């Protein structure tokens, strides 16, 4: 009898909890149904969880959204748990939202990645309101200016040439040679990022010891950052405090760890720049000279927090890399290349890409 009563209590408690969730869901979604002018919405939204099952398959999120855009048009709505979202996928619509009517779109939804990965929404990609507009202006004038982009172009050309030479020398004339090209491209991108932002190079000939440890740690942290920023956190879309506290997926705990370790590396870079002035300014020098304590009002983030948050996101932005390697590339054994895509805002590969490389230029062109 006691066991039967216990089961009845559990069933009643579960039903009451589900009823509570359903009332919350109807509260968050009933407003959207009253507006006939809302963009189209895919069929099949579930109570409470909305369209999440539609997005939870093995296909990368960007491709799922592209398929939905082909079906429902360049602007459509989704229910992400208890939150309503509008998906915009045409150039004209994006320009309308973030250029013509940027004041109305200056807010951002709350998210665990914004709170824990980028200093409580201090980054321009996650910021809100007037602060977001000021940061966008700063990035446009200082990071994406014609002069800055030209200097970055020259730096990329120089860094790629150096890395190609290191790859050629490192193979010691054993051609054809199988290499992990994914890791090599990561190394090139990492060198460009750190050189652009902090004025230092993490090459193959680093001094060892702490330098080697730092470069490996930084590479791992950037990879984890891109993965976690693209991960689904259940408490973001079903805003019940106990879900966030429980952190059943473990993503929030991982975000806190990655943020803390990245902060240590970036703070070290800042200390080096404050102690040692140099003739050629890098991104950190520009940030330190441009952002002062009066950059934002008293309600904004502290100066160093703004700089750190901007550096973190700039590292991710600069991960995109396209170049001509100077080698003929082939898949080992002429096997089909594995193109499976992983989770993350940069669409990383699931498995590293190994290729067989053969030089196609004269030796002196690699060695000079």
The residue among 138, 281, 296, 269 whose CA lies nearest residue 215 is: 269
77 & 156 share domain: no
* Helix/strand number for the chain, H first, E second: 15, 5
154 & 281 share domain: yes
Burial profile 260-297: b = 16 or more Cβ within 10 angstroms, e = fewer: eebbebbeebbeebeeeeeeeebbbbbbbeebeeebbe
DSSP 195-219: HHHHS----TT--STHHHHHHHHHH
Q: Is residue 252 part of a domain?
A: yes
149 & 222 share domain: yes
Residue 52 to residue 25: CA distance in whole angstroms: 14
Of the candidates 86, 105, 124, which is a domain's last residue?
Answer: 105
Q: How confident is the model at residue 6 (pLDDT cuts 50, 70, 90)?
A: very low
Q: Which domain holds residue 149?
A: 140-169+181-321
Q: What is the mean pLDDT of residues 311-320?
A: 74
61 & 191 share domain: no
Q: Is residue 219 part of a domain?
A: yes
Q: How confident is the model at residue 24 (pLDDT cuts 50, 70, 90)?
A: low
Q: Is residue 124 part of a domain?
A: no
Of the candidates 55, 79, 105, which is a domain's last residue?
Answer: 105
pLDDT, tens digit (0-9, with 9 covering 90-100), for 170-222: 877 788 888 888 888 888 888 888 888 888 777 554 444 456 677 788 888 98
The pLDDT score that the predictor gives to residue 5 is 43
Q: How many domains does the chain have?
A: 2
User: Are the C-beta atoms of residues 82 and 50 closer than 8 Å to each other?
Assistant: yes
311 & 214 share domain: yes
Highest mean pLDDT of the ranges 74-83, 103-112, 158-167, 185-194: 74-83
- Pairing between β-strand 327-330 and β-strand 354-359 as defined by DSSP bridges: antiparallel
59 & 147 share domain: no
Residue 28 to residue 237: CA distance in whole angstroms: 11
User: Are the C-beta atoms of residues 199 and 278 closer than 8 Å to each other?
Assistant: yes
User: Are the C-beta atoms of residues 201 and 195 closer than 8 Å to each other?
Assistant: yes
Residue 208 sits in a domain whose CATH number is 1.10.630.10
Q: Is residue 232 part of a domain?
A: yes
User: Are the C-beta atoms of residues 73 and 199 closer than 8 Å to each other?
Assistant: no
Of the candidates 62, 81, 105, which is a domain's last residue?
Answer: 105
Residue 229 to residue 347: CA distance in whole angstroms: 11
Kindly report which listed range (11-25, 62-76, 144-158, 348-362) carries the lowest average pLDDT score: 11-25
220 & 287 share domain: yes
297 & 202 share domain: yes
82 & 192 share domain: no
57 & 206 share domain: no
162 & 239 share domain: yes
Q: Is residue 24 part of a domain?
A: no
Examine the pLDDT at 112 and tell me if it is beyond 90: yes
82 & 151 share domain: no
Q: Is residue 127 part of a domain?
A: no
Q: Is residue 198 part of a domain?
A: yes
Kindly report which listed range (118-132, 283-297, 325-339) carries the lowest average pLDDT score: 283-297
Q: Is residue 52 part of a domain?
A: yes
């Amino acid at each position: 009898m006691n066991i039967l009563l216990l089961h009845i209590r559990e069933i009643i408690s579960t039903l009451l909890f589900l009823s509570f969730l359903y009332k919350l869901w109807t509260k968050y979604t009933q407003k959207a149904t009253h507006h006939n002018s809302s963009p189209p919405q895919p069929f099949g939204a579930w109570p409470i969880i909305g369209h999440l099952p539609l997005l939870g398959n093995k296909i990368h999120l960007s491709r799922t959204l592209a398929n939905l855009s082909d079906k429902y048009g360049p602007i459509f709505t989704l229910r992400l748990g208890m939150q309503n979202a509008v998906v915009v996928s045409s150039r004209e619509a994006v320009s309308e939202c973030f250029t013509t009517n940027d004041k109305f779109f200056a807010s951002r939804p709350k998210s665990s990645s914004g709170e824990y990965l980028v200093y409580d929404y201090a980054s321009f990609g996650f910021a809100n309101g007037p602060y977001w507009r000021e940061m966008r202006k700063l990035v446009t004038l200082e990071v994406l200016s014609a002069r800055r982009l030209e200097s970055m172009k020259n730096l990329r050309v120089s860094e790629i040439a150096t890395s190609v030479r290191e790859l050629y020398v490192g193979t010691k004339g054993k051609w054809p040679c199988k290499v992990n090209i994914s890791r090599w491209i990561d190394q090139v991108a990492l060198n460009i990022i750190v050189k652009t932002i902090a004025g230092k190079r993490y090459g193959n000939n680093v001094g060892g010891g702490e330098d080697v440890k730092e470069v490996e740690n930084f590479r791992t942290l950037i990879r984890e950052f891109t993965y976690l920023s693209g991960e689904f956190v259940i408490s973001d879309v079903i805003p019940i405090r106990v879900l966030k506290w429980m952190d059943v997926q473990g993503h929030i705990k991982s975000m806190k760890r990655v943020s803390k370790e990245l902060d240590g590396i970036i703070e070290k870079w800042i200390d080096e720049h404050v102690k040692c002035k140099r003739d050629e300014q890098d991104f950190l020098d520009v940030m330190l000279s441009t952002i002062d304590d009066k950059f934002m009002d008293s309600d904004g983030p502290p100066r160093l927090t703004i700089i750190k948050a901007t550096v973190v996101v700039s590292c991710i932005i600069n991960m995109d890399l396209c170049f001509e390697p100077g080698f003929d590339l082939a898949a080992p054994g002429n096997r089909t290349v594995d193109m499976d895509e992983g989770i993350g805002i940069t669409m990383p590969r699931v498995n590293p890409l190994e290729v067989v490389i053969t030089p196609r230029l004269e030796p002196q062109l690699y060695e000079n």
